[in-house]
Chain A
Amino acid sequence: MSEILSGESIPVGKLAYFRSRLTNKIHELVLTEFARLERNNAISKAELARRIGKKPEQVTRWLGAPGNWTLETFSDLLLGMKCEPVMVVERLEKTLAVTSTESDTGIYSLVAAPEPPSPKGAESAITAMSSPRIAHGLGGIEDP
């Protein structure tokens, strides 16, 4: 990750990794909110589909995976659940220690700094959207 923090040209692989990461975060945010509402009988896939003018099977596909999502999809699904996202941008160097380590399994990983305090009023969306940072021992393997 050093090339990202140092200002060097970012390799295509790293660009792809972070695109995937953001896509998955956004999908998880929507899926989490839908699951919460559905659990409380506050919405169904059919109801969500009706509200945003889509077929239920399309909504089912969207909730399964973020494959063909656009920003419009993101907006529509949240709005259909009477929500909109709260967003905060964080600088990577603030939350990540640059030190890389080798775990004893040989996979490259990072050690990050403790989680910084999050801004007030941004709890629900941010909690779901940007996962809390770190800090477990990367060297050990534990039986869950």
Chain B
Amino acid sequence: MSIYGELLNRVNERRLTRLMPLFPRVGLPTRQIFVSNEIEELIEGPWHSPEWEERCNWLRGDLDRFTEGGLLAIASAPYKGKTSYLKRLDPADREVWSIRSRDPEPGIRMLGCFAKKDVFVALTWRERAPLLGPNSRGWRDAAVSARTEWNNLFPAYGPLSGGDFHDYISNIVLV
């Protein structure tokens, strides 16, 4: 079975959900996001406060930018492109990526892996501030947690591993 078939199995098992853009563009969407249950709860609510509801809906808008297929800025290296939309975390061979919803405060990071080109599986999320600096234990633990979640969902498949950023995602600019 292909990795995509496995993805659909996880959807049928209700361990993943496909996030559809609220306003899809003409034609088939060029990118897809599947989210874990914890991320679905973050996006769909209920939320503990109006402020958090506002923040999570802002995040939903950021995620729809991915699924609508528009041009995205990607960090060209782990510690570059501080404001980019998407960044692969160090070490690169762990293949854990972060979608960065920076504003409004608190910043949120969605960690996950690419199953195949243009298909991202968002597995865990963290508020940015408690993660501290780029080499912190918080970052490492978050990335390990995301990769562990991947391994639990897809024990027979590793995440997509490409030689070039364009192997992972289409319509990008490196910053």
Contacts and interface: CB of A to CB of B under 8 A. Distances in A.
A107 B18 contact: yes
Contacts of B123: none
A94 interface: no
A144 B32 contact: yes
Nearest to A133: B26
Interface in A1-33: 1, 11-21, 23-24, 28, 31-32
Contacts of A134: 23-26
Contact of A107 (B17, B23, B68, B73): B17
A134 B68 CA distance: 10
Most buried by B among A32, A96, A103, A106: A106
A35 B26 CA distance: 22
Given A12-B54, A64-B81, A143-B4, A17 B61 contact: yes
B140 interface: no
Contacts of B44: 107-108
Interface residues of B, number: 56
Contacts of B68: 131
Contact of A64 (B21, B70, B73, B116): B73
A107 B57 CA distance: 14
A142 interface: yes
Contacts, number: 145
Interface stretch (A46-54, A71-79, A80-88, A109-117): A109-117
Contact of B54 (A13, A24, A65, A115): A13
A28 B65 contact: yes
29 contacts: A16-B53, A17-B60, A17-B61, A21-B23, A28-B71, A31-B73, A64-B82, A65-B83, A65-B84, A65-B85, A65-B102, A65-B103, A66-B103, A106-B17, A107-B17, A107-B44, A109-B20, A112-B23, A115-B26, A131-B68, A134-B25, A135-B24, A136-B27, A136-B29, A138-B20, A141-B8, A141-B11, A144-B32, A144-B116
Given A61-B83, A105-B20, 8 more contacts: A13-B53, A65-B85, A103-B20, A107-B18, A133-B23, A138-B24, A141-B8, A144-B28
**Which 4 A/B pairs are nearest by Cβ-Cβ distance?**
A20-B61, A64-B83, A13-B57, A65-B83
